[in-house]
Amino acid sequence: MYEQGLNVEAVEMALKADDKLRASELLEITAEKILEEQDLAQLLIWRKKLPDMIITTSPRLIVIFSWTLALTQQLDEAERLMAQMDRLLSLDKKLINEEISGQLFAIRAYIARGRGNIDNAIALCLQALEKLPLKNFVARAITYFNLSNAYMTLDKVSLARDYNKLSFETARSSGSVHLEMLAMHEHARIEQS
> What are the DSSP calls for 17-42, one per residue?
TT-HHHHHHHHHHHHHHHHHTT-HHH
| 170 has a pLDDT exceeding 70 | yes
pTM of the model: 0.88
pLDDT single digits (tens) 56-108: 988 889 999 999 999 999 999 999 999 988 777 766 666 678 888 999 999 99
User: Can you give the residue ranges of every domain in the chain?
Assistant: 1-96
Average pLDDT for 115-124: 98
Q: How many CB atoms neighbour CB 72 within 10 A?
A: 14
Highest mean pLDDT (candidates 22-26, 139-143, 186-190): 139-143
Contact assessment for residue 103 and residue 63, using Cβ atoms and an 8 Å cutoff? yes
Q: How many CB atoms neighbour CB 50 within 10 A?
A: 20
Reported as a pLDDT band with limits 50, 70 and 90, residue 178 is: confident
Q: How far is CA 106 from CA 21, 78, 121, 125, 167, in A?
A: 27, 12, 9, 6, 14
Nearest alpha-carbon partner for 85 in 68, 70, 105, 71: 105
